[in-house]
Amino acid sequence: CRSKESIRCYSVFPKHYTKPIFRKEEQDELVTNEKFQAATYLSFKPACIDETSSEFYDPLVSKFINYLIKQGKKSSARYLLERAFLSIKMIQLQAYNSCDSNDKEKIELDPKVILRNAVENAKPVMELTQIKRAGQVYKVPIPIDSRRSRLLAIRWLIQAAKEKTRTDFLYDRLAHELIQAHNNQGRTIKKKQELYKQCQANKSYAHFRW
Amino acid sequence: MNLFNRFILRIKKSTNLRNTSSFAETMELSDEILPSIYTRETDPVYHNESHLNKLYNIPSKDCATILSHGLMNQYKIQLKIFNEMSILIRKPSIELLSYLSKSDYAKPVNKYVIYGECGSGKSTLLYHLLHYGYNTNKIIVYVNHAQYWFTKPKEIKYSEIERNIIDLPIDTRIWLDKFKLLNNHILCQANIKLSKSYKWGTGANFPKDSSLIDLINFGIDQTRYASEIVAALVNELKQASRIGLCNVLVLIDNYNIFFSHYTQIKNSLKKFALTSEFSLTQNFLEITKSDWCNGQIIVTVDTAVNKDRQESHLPRYLLTKEGFEHLDPFLPINVENYSEDEFYTMIDYYKHKKLIRSLTSNGEKELKLLSGYNPYKLMDLCKHL
């Protein structure tokens, strides 16, 4: 049935369908905007399962869950991250309850802020790629965009949690790793710094990029 | 003068600091002022309707003995987060406490069955009553996770006396150990003597009028006799309370597991055993009979433990005909989900304890709709915020 004349798209929706606006603030903003008239004639896709107008929705959290998924089991990935958030809270609240009243303001209790800071601290600016020049392969440092650096940061955080000793549960290891990255410590930050060192060493190959 | 002082003390305990401006002269100010969600009355004996929708703390010195039977995982996490054991005073617990204080102990035992939806706070209510029993010097027979005896026991042994009865020696010994920890101070005070002689095998010989504590200690040391000793203990407790030596409070969580047909253990005929074939089941059914006095029996029923009965949470359905006839007559007590006031108390408590930090009115509305005012679901939703 797959003849050349009728190419079937994998997605249910054709390409001219645009992404939905599911946040209430954005919808209110659109109504006051000039583009609203044009938007009424557009066709929209339905929202994905994790895209809600809830107060507790966070785009980075749903992104992180998508990277944690194994075998398409989204619910278990979501449980993993939520349980890791609880572990973060348990660690931070125990520190909060035991410390003096002066130091209490320094301790961050919001797990979503900790996740955001951890990802922000783990983001690399450069990366090494292999480029072939005159029959030889060189590792050339190149700058990367924000999407790629976010991907690497999240991937490294999950890898670092999985590499740790298997005495604890994965959610506990992930919680420890996130708190350490929030404080600019730990395996993920070390990995980023090693990459920077290699980039520094291969600085002389930078012109191979062109 | 002494009486007057006690009266003042009673008022001090039972009222909140904010509402007692007229008693300001007689009061000693404590180190810190509690927020209005708490009540200063930490003794459940004095709890009444003025303390409704407020939290009270179990004093930290009693915590270790009261929680000696162990906690469920969800409570363990809460203990770590909140750094204290606090219980919300709710309508059914006030109702039960008033029944316990007013009932006639010369008559045969009263039985209460607590029922409600899954996660509505039945086990927490039992902790409140356990604290009451501890403070009023009662002997507490407390069973909190009987379901694990029938799914994953530590050891199985067929009874030496009857071949078709199954013993769980290690689990029984652990229960005896916890029972002794919880009631040690009262058992020493009451000094209960055995009403008849017991003899198992050559080494185990207890003549009449020997001490009950020796019997319990023997059960803890000699694991193989533990099951027989629990049976003897139940008989002796009933006998002693009939005479008036002690006051017994029986609290059994998930009581309907004793009438479930679902176990994971095979009997001597290589078929899945019924719960009635276990010696522990027979002992705890024995203590919930009506043939003794000077005691109270409070049990809970829950759908969570009974795999073959899931359609309703009402006691007649969960206990089955057999269990209903065994317990009859009893008073059913319904534990409902949170009311509007209780919901906001808990939200304030979570904010006070920094479990959730900033929450708008829209967020509260969302939590209400998602949890449906169910205590367990509310806690579950707030865990990761």
A95, containing H or E segment? helix A74-98
Q: How confident is the model at residue A70 (pLDDT cuts 50, 70, 90)?
A: very high
Domain spans, chain A: 1-56, 58-209
B361 vs A: CB within 8 A? no
Could you say which of A55, A97, A110 has the minimum Cβ distance to residue B357?
A110
Nearest CA in chain B to A78: B384
Contact A85 B366 (CB under 8 A): no
Q: Work out the minimum CA distance from A85 to partner chain B, whole angstroms.
A: 5
Q: Does A23 touch chain B (CB under 8 A)?
A: no
- The alpha carbon of residue B89 is apart from the nearest alpha carbon of chain A, in Å, by 25
Q: What's the CA gap between A154 and A76, in Å, rounded? A: 18
List of chain A residues whose C-beta atoms are within 8 Å of the C-beta of residue B78: none
Report the share of chain A in percent with pLDDT over 70. Answer: 95
DSSP letter (8 states) at residue B278: B
Question: How far apart are the C-alpha atoms of A188 and A120, rounded to whole Å?
Answer: 12
- Mention every residue, 6+ apart, whose C-beta is less than 8 A from residue A111: A84, A85, A88, A89, A178, B384
Measured between CA atoms, the residue of chain B closest to residue A79 is: B384
CATH topology of domain A58-209: Ribosomal Protein S7 (1.10.455)
Q: At what angle do helices A170-182 and A111-122 cross, to 10 degrees?
A: 70
Nearest CB neighbour to A54, from listed B81, B354, B366: B366
Dihedral Cα B123, B128, B129, B133, nearest 10 deg? 130
* Mean pLDDT computed over A40-58: 88
pLDDT at B307: 82
Complex ipTM value: 0.84
Using CB atoms, which residue from A56, A90, A110 is nearest to B81?
A: A90
pLDDT of residue B26: 47
Q: Does B357 touch chain A (CB under 8 A)?
A: yes
Q: What is the predicted pLDDT for the residue at B18? A: 45
Q: Is B359 exposed, middle or buried (0-12, 13-18, 19+ CB in 10 A)?
A: middle
- Listed in sequence order, the DSSP H helices in chain B are 2-14, 60-66, 73-82, 91-102, 122-135, 147-151, 169-190, 212-221, 226-243, 279-287, 315-327, 340-352, 361-371, 375-382
pLDDT tens over chain B, length 385 residues? 454 455 444 544 444 444 444 444 444 445 566 778 888 888 889 988 998 889 998 888 888 888 888 788 888 888 888 888 889 999 999 999 999 888 888 888 899 999 999 989 898 999 999 999 999 988 999 998 888 888 888 888 887 777 788 888 899 999 999 999 888 888 888 888 888 888 887 777 888 888 888 888 888 888 888 888 888 889 988 988 888 888 899 999 989 888 888 888 888 888 888 888 888 898 899 889 988 888 899 999 999 888 888 899 998 999 889 999 998 889 999 999 999 999 999 999 999 888 888 889 999 999 999 999 999 999 999 988 8
pLDDT at position A112 is: 93
Task: Give contacts of A86 with chain B, Cβ < 8 Å.
Answer: 77, 383-384
The arithmetic mean of pLDDT across residues A85-112, rounded, is 90
